[in-house]
Amino acid sequence: MLKVLTDTQASRWKDLQGEPFQGELGGLFGRANRRLVGAHDPSTIVKDKGEYWTFTTGRGILSLRSKDLVHWERGPTVFPDPPPWITGVVPTQRGTFWAPDVIYQDGRYLLYYSVSALGKRTSAIGLASNPTLDPDDPHYHWTDHGIVIQTDERDDYNAIDPSVARAPDGTLWLAFGSYWSGIKLLQLNPRTGKRIATDSPLHAIASHQQIEASALYPHDGYFYLFVNWGSCCRGVWSTYNIRVGRSRDITGPYLDKDGIDLLDGGGSLVLGTEGSFIGPGHAGVLKDGGRYFLSYHFYDGAQFGRSRLGIRPLEWTEDGWPRVTGKPITPPAAQ
């Protein structure tokens, strides 16, 4: 999520923070079947009891739920009231949380979220957990576990936009960062979900003059690092586009299709603006059975730049690179 904004952009973002990103459910957009609902900075999609969930930027952390990836509805917010530690770290925080991500780990869902002072490095990534995402389950309850990592104006990186991934060897990792010196990576304790040690290495894995919204995904012997270039939060004027690099080692180096290191400005295009489909960002990969999907938000040029949830099928090329397709996402009931 962009944190270096002009006054006009900041005003637009302030408007976005005030209300949930509302939108019509269902429908088609362009050539691909992108069933739409209002969302910004969606988390990786996860599945619980046959239902899909994603979490998004908004007051209290917003949630969306679906039974088929096509028709989405609002779920409960995570925090009716912000955890009390937040105002001590970010005094200007007023209950809006940015760019969450979620993973199922050892019997519970770990939800990473960020709080920040707009345009500054006064930021923190926090952690909450829940044994279930089903609000009707008697065990449903979000427990906040406090800070995972924080930054201030003395740091050259920004603790926002968390992305959590589990490596094939069972280790747990958190990528994060926005602008400044780019995307960082740290190892997590798989039992607690927190940093494995307070002095554990912080790996630099990608850099660009406009970079954020990282997402890590392991596949077929590689780790794929998705990032966003460009500016977000500007509606139809947004220039967000999704890039990717890959590495055999989760700590890098991540190279694009041309062999350029993402630390040196490399990044192969995965998805960009297509007509009134504008500024896709905050990628997440879902493997559902034998199918792969790429989730993201985008700005709908046909609806005055409203931010939407988008999902498209994802394929892997013969040489192992991710590629989105224009094939419709068909609801299971219609198959």
Residues designated catalytic: 41, 212
C-alpha span between 75 and 62 (Å, rounded)? 7
C-alpha span between 121 and 67 (Å, rounded)? 38
* 3-state SS class at 273: coil
C-alpha span between 60 and 141 (Å, rounded)? 14
Q: Residue 176: which of 191, 157, 155, 154 has the closest Cα?
A: 157
Residue 119: both structure tokens together: 């345009």
Residue 306: both structure tokens together: 């409203």
CA 236 and chain centroid, separation: 20
C-alpha span between 318 and 309 (Å, rounded)? 29
In contact, 277 and 259? CB cutoff 8 Å: no
* 3-state SS class at 34: coil
* 3-state SS class at 18: helix
Residue type, 161: D
Residue 229: both structure tokens together: 């270039």
C-alpha span between 189 and 171 (Å, rounded)? 8
In contact, 189 and 139? CB cutoff 8 Å: no
Which residues are 167's β-sheet partners?
Answer: none
Q: Residue 117: which of 176, 79, 158, 59 has the closest Cα?
A: 158
C-alpha span between 138 and 152 (Å, rounded)? 39
Q: Output phi, psi for 86, to 5 deg.
A: -65, -45
